[in-house]
Amino acid sequence: MRLFVGIKIEEKVVKELSKIQEELKKRSKGVRWVKKENLHLTLKFLGEIEGNKIGEVEEEIKKGIIGEKRFELSFERIGYFPNERRPKIVWIGIEEGRDNFIKIAERLNKRLNKFRKEERKIIPHLTLGRLKYGGEVVVNDQNFKTSSFWVTKVYLIKSKLLETGPLYTVIKEFSLS
């Protein structure tokens, strides 16, 4: 199974993010925008995990979030990977809740590294779209901002890749204190 640990986005914020995507669509071409039902935050991508290892993954997630409290999170500012001159991914950054997100992501990364090692620096973001070859996005105002919402749970999510895009299914949820 293709798995990741993530955070679901509250519906009112999903609507705000969809409006930001609509605004960006007016000034872009060749971008595959993430469907609103698929907008999420990834804390740790695990990739392909054998079914008999899921119990072990769940235990490591539980241990990784022990003592972590719920927190408020909001999004602000558009960014690009790898950079603005040659963007392949357009994203919006985490503003409020940034430190909490990084702390949990780092803890989960340490606990889950035996399943998939990740050396990259954590850049708290939500992917809005992926640029096809020759695609472009023109952002005049990078200071888009959303309302905040409470993060009270993290989720182990299965990702099935289909021709129409990924299909996400929650395997298990884990409550923050």
Percent of all residues in the chain with a pLDDT value above 90, rounded to a whole number? 84
Q: How many residues does the chain have?
A: 177
Residue 49 is predicted with a pLDDT of 97
At 73, which helix (H) or strand (E)? strand 71-73
Question: For 95-137, what is each residue's pLDDT tens digit?
Answer: 999 999 999 999 999 999 999 998 888 999 999 999 998 888 8
Give tens-digit pLDDT for 37-73: 999 999 999 999 999 999 999 999 999 999 999 999 9
What's the CA gap between 19 and 23, in Å, rounded?
Answer: 6
The more confidently predicted of residues 138 and 40 is: 40
Which amino acid makes up residue 134? Answer: G
For each of the domains in the chain, give its residue range(s) and CATH number, in order of start: 2-175 (3.90.1140.10)
Cα 136 to chain center, whole Å?
Answer: 22
**Residue 140's pLDDT is what?**
67
Q: Do residues 157 and 173 lie in contact, with contact meaning Cβ atoms separated by under 8 Å? A: no
> Catalytic positions, please?
40, 125
- Please write the tens of the pLDDT for every residue from 66-99: 999 999 999 999 999 988 888 899 999 999 999 9
pLDDT at 28 over 80: yes
Give the pLDDT confidence score for residue 84 in this predicted structure. Answer: 82
pLDDT for the residue numbered 138: 79
Query: DSSP letters along 95-130, please?
Result: -TTHHHHHHHHHHHHHHHTTTS---SPP--EEEEEE
Mean pLDDT over all residues of the chain? Answer: 94
